[in-house]
């Protein structure tokens, strides 16, 4: 049985890397979510080795870390493809970081591997590896920050507490230098600190803790200030605070709750008229046709779409079980998920079709993975869940495998 598990792990990792490398090889980087703007940013950094003015192009308000990394790879290998391959490996850093969190909470190898498989098979994450975009790197730092908070609420020693706080600060700073939406982790950090204080109130030296938090806060503020400072020169919204404050509602009320896309089996156009449908299709299939060709109905897309109706209840069931067995950790996971959903609703107050997808709140995959892993309760559930996820994984691989005649390859 152990050899079977090892073989499955090698197969999944190998197939996932093959998909990412193959797709990045064929994919023309100016496609995708704001692809032209991201390409311009990397080319500017690679040419000038400096951050572009925030108003120079429509994506240059973004934080620079991803673009510096992409430009460095381009210079090192002398080809654009080096920058495109970056996200294939960042995807597995996201999955691995989630695995660290799963192991910390469940201490169960099978649950950890099944939770990681749920992300390897998730269509929303697998849309991005071929693209030039900072979304996956942003997701990595958000999940890293959340996992550090899971360690914080379960730590037993002063040394581990300090490591958790340093880990969080590093994740937050790197997140700020990748995309300012890392600030949506703040409610999760507040609840984690509160839990830690309640659980260890008698063991903690309050003065030392206050000093650590003060030093950490000053360090985070100092390292984050350049990102906020450059936004002053931007004419339009250049960070999540300005974006949220500029939103004005322009949606009809039924946009927020309509479900008529389900009986219509609308897998592609729901972002125009349904917040829930846009989220569903961006999470479980390529509902925006970011890489796959547009068709009215596709059998593989339909399988992925239907599997969502099976996997979502399983994940929610697992999250309930998490609450019953790991209360402190559950609060951290729940608040992260609710923060992502809250930001999703906030963005959708604005009347723009591209807001109706969960890709901007991609850290929601961490609660999803915890739910899937938490639903495992015995050998039957392990085998059943593994089978469902492997079906999703291989259908997703087949559906997302870019062919030379697709529009994104031209």
Angle at 189 between CA 186 and CA 192, to 5 degrees: 155
Q: Specify the pTM.
A: 0.94
Query: What pLDDT is attached to residue 108?
Result: 95
Is residue 62 within 8 Å of 179, Cβ to Cβ? yes
Q: What does the alpha-carbon distance between residue 172 and residue 219 come to, in Å, rounded to a whole number?
A: 11
**In the chain, what are the domain boundaries?**
135-235
Query: What pLDDT is attached to residue 234?
Result: 61
Query: What pLDDT is attached to residue 212?
Result: 82
For the residues of 264-310, what is the DSSP string, one character each? Answer: TT-SSSGGGT-HHHHHHHHHHS-TT-SSSPP-S--HHHHHHHHHHHH
- How many CA atoms does the CB half-sphere of 64 hold within 13 Å? 19
Q: Any residues with CB less than 8 A from the CB of 19 and at least 6 apart, and which?
A: 126, 129, 397, 400, 401
Query: What pLDDT is attached to residue 56?
Result: 85
Report, as ranges of residue numbers, the positions in the chain whose pLDDT lies below 70: 33, 201-202, 231-249
Query: What pLDDT is attached to residue 129?
Result: 94
Task: Compute CA 71 distance to the chain's CA centroid, rounded to the nearest angstrom.
Answer: 22
Q: What does the alpha-carbon distance between residue 279 and residue 364 come to, in Å, rounded to a whole number?
A: 11
- In 3-state terms, what secondary structure has residue 121? coil
Cβ burial of 82 (10 Å; 0-12, 13-18, 19+) is: middle
Query: What pLDDT is attached to residue 272?
Result: 92
Q: What does the alpha-carbon distance between residue 279 and residue 360 come to, in Å, rounded to a whole number?
A: 10
Query: What pLDDT is attached to residue 239?
Result: 47
Query: What pLDDT is attached to residue 242?
Result: 54
């Amino acid at each position: 049985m152990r050899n079977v598990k090892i073989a499955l792990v090698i197969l999944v990792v190998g197939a996932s890397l093959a998909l990412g490398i193959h797709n990045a090889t064929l994919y023309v980087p100016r496609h995708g979510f704001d692809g032209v703007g991201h390409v311009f940013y990397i080319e500017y950094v690679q040419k000038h080795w400096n951050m572009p003015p925030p108003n120079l192009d429509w994506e240059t308000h973004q934080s620079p870390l991803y673009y510096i990394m992409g430009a460095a790879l381009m210079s090192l290998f002398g080809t654009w493809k080096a920058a495109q391959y970056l996200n294939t490996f960042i995807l597995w850093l996201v999955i691995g970081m989630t695995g660290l969190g799963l192991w910390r909470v469940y201490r169960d190898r099978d649950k950890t591997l099944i939770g990681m498989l749920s992300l390897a098979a998730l269509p929303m994450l697998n849309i991005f590896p071929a693209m030039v975009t900072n979304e996956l790197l942003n997701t990595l730092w958000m999940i890293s920050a959340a996992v550090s908070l899971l360690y914080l609420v379960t730590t037993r020693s002063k040394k581990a507490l300090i490591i958790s706080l340093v880990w969080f600060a590093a994740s937050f700073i790197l997140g700020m230098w990748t995309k300012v939406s890392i600030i949506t982790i703040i409610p999760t950090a507040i609840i984690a600190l509160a839990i830690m204080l309640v659980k260890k109130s008698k063991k903690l030296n309050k003065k030392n803790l206050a000093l650590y938090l003060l030093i950490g806060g000053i360090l985070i503020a100092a390292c984050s200030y350049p990102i906020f400072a450059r936004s002053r020169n931007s004419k339009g919204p250049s960070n999540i605070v300005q974006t949220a404050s500029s939103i004005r509602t322009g949606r009809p009320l039924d946009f927020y709750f309509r479900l008529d896309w389900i009986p219509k089996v609308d897998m592609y156009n729901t972002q125009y008229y349904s917040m829930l449908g846009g989220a569903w299709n961006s999470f479980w299939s390529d509902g925006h046709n970011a890489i796959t060709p547009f068709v009215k109905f596709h059998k593989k897309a339909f399988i992925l779409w239907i599997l969502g109706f099976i996997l979502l209840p399983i994940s929610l069931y697992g999250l309930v079980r998490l609450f019953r067995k790991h209360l402190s950790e559950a609060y951290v996971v729940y608040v992260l998920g609710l923060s992502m959903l809250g930001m999703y609703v906030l963005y959708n107050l604005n009347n723009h079709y591209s807001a109706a997808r969960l890709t901007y709140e991609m850290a929601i995959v961490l609660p999803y993975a915890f739910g899937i892993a938490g639903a495992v309760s015995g050998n039957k559930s392990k085998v059943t869940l593994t089978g469902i996820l492997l079906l999703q994984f291989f259908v997703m691989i087949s559906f997302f495998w870019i062919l030379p005649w697709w529009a994104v390859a031209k």
